[in-house]
Amino acid sequence: MGFHRLQISLEQYPTSPELTTSVILEALLRGDLGPGRSALDLGCGTGMLAVACALVESDYVLAVDCDEDALQVALENRENLELGERISFVLGRVTNLKGNSSKQSKVSENGCRGRGRGRGRDRTVGSGRQGRGSTKESMELITSDNDGLPLRSRCVDTVLTNPPFGTKNNAGMDLRFLRAATRLARTSVYSFHKTSTRDFVSRVVNHWGMNVEVVAQMKFDLPQTYKFHKEKSVDVEVDLIRVAVFPDEERAEEE
């Protein structure tokens, strides 16, 4: 694909077929996916959610990830399922709170611009801990729209994302992904978050002036993937949330 290789440091896990089915069905029932709708899979990995969006006949789908190898697999999945005209891939990275993504280049074979860098860390925002991330300074950082992605705001109807959980070395990354998703979506965002962070995530989304609801509660069966994992696998309770994104004028009326 000719993408510039990027170092991966995010703690992300694959989206299982069961979880994919749950989010796609929910979005279909609410009219957020399907014919006449566009979608974006943020942090797409090998393209599970993107492929599913295309299979339910969404008009077009963008798939974004920072991993060249994962995008290559996603491209192969697209070709194997003959979905070439419905899914386009973008190599880009959601910056963390201290990230700098001023350098964006590369054009993929689909005409999408390419890369976002950001490798700094900031532990002042930790959605997994009560008491952290609740200060005015932290809220301002989380609210930043400088996410480093080479995509215009409101470019699709619906964004789906299975973000990093925002733990260990990635404090706040779950909310950075969510914030980026709300910038890109015209209508709605579907996102997975640890149930233990539900109250905090709700407070942050409300702080943005948007509505959020938990549409399903499920479990992630996480395999032993990273060095800090001590068990062969562990079940983690996870919320599937839906954020209703309003145009600026409607958001002002809501407030």
pLDDT digits (tens, 9 = 90+) for 38-55: 999 999 999 999 999 999
Where residue 235 falls among pLDDT bands split at 50, 70, 90?
confident
Among 33-47, 204-218, 219-233, the least confident range? 219-233
Beta bridge partners of 220: 236
pLDDT digits (tens, 9 = 90+) for 125-170: 333 333 333 455 455 556 778 899 999 999 999 999 999 876 656 6
17-242 is a CATH 3.40.50.150 domain: yes
Alpha-carbon span 136 to 142, nearest angstrom: 10
Share of the chain above pLDDT 90, in %: 54
Q: Which pLDDT does position 167 carry in this prediction?
A: 60
Where residue 201 falls among pLDDT bands split at 50, 70, 90?
very high
What is the rounded average pLDDT for all residues in the chain? Answer: 76
